Structure 1
Amino acid sequence: MFRTDGRLADGRTIRWYDRTAGREPSPDTRDLPTTTPMSQIRRDPLTGERIVLAAHRQNRTFMPPADECPLCPSRDGYASEVPSDSYEVVVFDNRFPALSDAVVDVPTEDDPLFASAPAHGACEVVCFSERHDASFKDLGLEQARLVVDAWADRTRELSACDSVEYVYPFENRGVEIGVTLPHPHGQIYAFGFVPPRAATELARARAHHDATGRNLFGDVIARELADGARIVAENDTWVAFVPFAARWPVEVHLYPRTQVADLAALDDAQRDGLAALYRDVLTRFDALYDAPLPYISAWQQAPAKADHPDRELAWLHVELFSIRRSADKLKYLAGTESGQGAFSNDVSPEAVAQRLREVADAFDGGSGREVGESS
């Protein structure tokens, strides 16, 4: 992997990731106004949760026509967010960040009931490919591996920032999910705190370790492998399964077989295995209903700081899930789910796992090609 850094017209950083050396950063010729983030974090006095308020994001770009996509390469007559006529993978600072170390004029309130502070951190956009009509499953293995390397590089660098406590890569795909740009991309949020789901998983891991002396995530993987009913796919370094208590109609978690703290800590074999299995599972997702499946891909990794008391228990994994419950129906959160967080699922995890295993029969090794189709 070769990384080349450049500057966008308003001072943001852009990073090109290539498989070969020799790229020169391209100048951004646009006349862009500087965005001043005014994000604030307020603590909910009833739950203790931190809520990010980012009113400057209200007017961000929303579903532009394909010939005005800001994530496509620039061309004659049109300058996008990527000031080059081609790219493999790029990562740039979000123009409308919810979290930013550039937040100014936001006071800190130490009020024990209504506490607030500037929303420090970072938000980045990760473009998986220059192809506007592609998705992650359509990437070749080398391209998918390059995305993994970019995720790892950003995890390493952002984790070293003083303001960052947790690095969270994720992808939203599909208009049903609320995507505002259809170009294949994900995002990275570098939080100044450990967000709620990660904190809950780590607290459960701590309680399990204190009670048994074992790692919770390792025990879950071992049980799933021993049972086998919810296994979707696996290779030498990774395993994918529908979780025992799946919340969503389609939900698959991917874990490395051995404990790894975060994306930056993956070795070459694990990165190759992740690229292959992740692409395989996403291919199965799209084969379920013969149409692109809307999904969220949520990376769970260790807290950024080495002195975090639960970092030693973390086990990198990705939680993939979709709100589609049948070919023509979506799952909307019920009152019990939205109001109380008490999920119910109409689909058996074991049935979903079997269906995801079966749909692979029509594809050649997770390549996304129909059997017999030439490359």
Structure 2
Amino acid sequence: MGGKIDLKPTDDRSHPEYRRDPLTGQIVIIARQRAHRPMSRFPSDDEDLPSGDCPFCEGRETMTPPEVFAIRPEGGARDSVGWQVRVVPNKYPALMVGAGETPSWSEHSGHLGDLLQDDALPGVGHHEVVIECPDHASSYHRHGDAQAGAVFLAYRERLRCFARKEGIASAIVFKNSGRSAGASQPHAHSQIIAMPLVPPILEREWRGCDDYWRENGRHYFANLLDAERSHGERIVEATDDFVAWCPYASRFPYELCVCPREEQARYDEASDHQVEALGALMRRLMLAMDNALGSVAFNYFLHTASLDSPNVDGVPAGFRWHLEITPRLEGLAGFEIGSGMYINPVPPDMAARDWRRYMPAADGATS
């Protein structure tokens, strides 16, 4: 007896699964192959970032699966050097193409008579990595607006691709930066997971917008932005195209939300101008976070409306795609995990004031 538990899967059930809690409806992805991910060492603040054998660095394109999208300003062959942004399938995917038929839970699945009885559905989907810059020891917000815009262009183009794929209902773009935020590689990257079902949090947002429209006759996000601009204290930045603010009920210290001024539910429908403007704004926000909080771990994620799936009933009234940034200054503790509620020690008005103080000028200044 004794010794460490081996977390690597030992059976031949290699395909991921969707599982749903029959009491709460919570959906979980069981992805055994994710246990094989290599976990690179993250440096401390006073260390250089060693590249080692990083598969995301320029010149090591053969160390990743073949790319599905790339931006090469000077042109060039697929999987060659000279790229600005590169997108590849995740080598250790949470979901897999060809894992089975498109999943669908029946209305009666998971009832008490069938508890724990084969309610799992095949983990069908796509899982991709967006490599945000060729330089190992940097990130897009240190490379200028053009690099940042290229990253957000890659997001849009991949979402457009998924929208054309049969059976894909939703997609989440997300970034984990730092070990405590869930990253396994220090090279700047983000990820996209496309699914044939709608995650519960997105479904709640969509349904909430529809309910608000029916009860008030106005669009939720339009009213919300009007109210935040009127209040003023939680606004961090308002440009011609976007508003960035600290939400009234922020879950995390310095949590931030970015939303377009235009009524637009789907990010894959954003114009080239919007993509460039979002990249420029996000670059400044990332610099402000560096200036205010140092090398803090953080996540961000993009919520967008349905990708034209027949399984989803249209676009919710008044919903707008939006991007949420969550610095990870506080870990999730027992109360948060056990209750689904959050304790935030930094009021959003105070957080917004700090964001504004450290926000670089729109001319691209870095400090």
Q: How high is the TM-score relative to the length of structure 1? A: 0.81
Partner of 2:16 in structure 1?
Answer: 39
The answer to whether the Cα contact below 8 Å between 2:246 and 2:349 also exists between their aligned partners in 1 is yes
The CA deviation string for residues 219-275 of structure 1, in whole angstroms up to 9 with x for no partner, is 111111111100111211011000011010110000000111222111132222211
- Greater CA drift, 60-69 or 333-342: 60-69
Give the Cα separation in 1 of the matches to 2:306 and 2:124: 16
Of 322, 326, 329, the match for 2:327 = 322
The answer to whether the Cα contact below 8 Å between 2:209 and 2:316 also exists between their aligned partners in 1 is no
The answer to whether the Cα contact below 8 Å between 2:167 and 2:309 also exists between their aligned partners in 1 is no
The CA deviation string for residues 40-81 of structure 1, in whole angstroms up to 9 with x for no partner, is 111111111221101111011211661200111225xx9422
Counterpart secondary structure, 1:98: coil
Give the Cα separation in 2 of the matches to 1:162 and 1:306: 8
Q: Quickly say closer, same or farther: Cα 1:174–1:107, change in 2 above 3 A.
A: closer
Give the Cα separation in 1 of the matches to 2:102 and 2:233: 51
How many Å apart are 1:366 and its aligned residue?
Answer: 6.7
In proportion to residue count, which structure has more strand?
Answer: 1
The answer to whether the Cα contact below 8 Å between 1:108 and 1:116 also exists between their aligned partners in 2 is no
Higher relative contact order (CA 8 A, sep 6+): 2
The CA deviation string for residues 150-207 of structure 1, in whole angstroms up to 9 with x for no partner, is 1111101112222311011110101221310111110000012111211111121111
Counterpart secondary structure, 1:311: coil
AA matched with 1:74:
G
Which structure 1 segments of 5+ residues have no match? 1-34, 325-330, 371-375
Give the Cα separation in 1 of the matches to 2:339 and 2:205: 18
Partner of 2:134 in structure 1?
Answer: 130
Give the Cα separation in 1 of the matches to 2:260 and 2:175: 19
- Greater CA drift, 262-271 or 123-132: 262-271
How many Å apart are 1:368 and its aligned residue?
Answer: 5.2
User: Superposed, which structure 2 residues align to 1:200-279 within 5 Å?
Assistant: 200-279=204-283
AA matched with 1:119:
G
Partner of 1:103 in structure 2?
Answer: 99
Q: Check if 1:191 corresponds to 2:195.
A: yes
Give the Cα separation in 2 of the matches to 1:170 and 1:37: 24
User: Superposed, which structure 2 residues align to 1:1-375 within 5 Å?
Assistant: 38-63=15-40, 66-74=51-59, 79-81=62-64, 83-103=79-99, 111-113=109-111, 114=116, 115-289=119-293, 291-305=294-308, 308-309=312-313, 311-313=315-317, 314-324=319-329, 331-360=330-359, 363-365=360-362, 367=364, 369-370=366-367
Give the Cα separation in 2 of the matches to 1:200 and 1:366: 38
AA matched with 1:98:
A
Which structure 2 segments of 5+ residues have no match? 1-11, 42-49, 68-78
Give the Cα separation in 2 of the matches to 1:124 and 1:364: 33
Give the Cα separation in 2 of the matches to 1:320 and 1:302: 18
Give the Cα separation in 2 of the matches to 1:207 and 1:297: 26
Q: Quickly say closer, same or farther: Cα 1:233–1:163, change in 2 above 3 A.
A: same
Q: Quickly say closer, same or farther: Cα 1:59–1:368, change in 2 above 3 A.
A: farther
Q: What is the root-mean-square deviation of aligned Cα atoms in Å?
A: 2.4
Counterpart secondary structure, 1:170: strand
How many aligned positions are there? 325
The answer to whether the Cα contact below 8 Å between 2:247 and 2:257 also exists between their aligned partners in 1 is yes
AA matched with 1:62:
M
AA matched with 2:238:
E
Counterpart secondary structure, 1:68: coil
AA matched with 2:63:
S
Give the Cα separation in 1 of the matches to 2:100 and 2:331: 37
The answer to whether the Cα contact below 8 Å between 2:144 and 2:283 also exists between their aligned partners in 1 is no
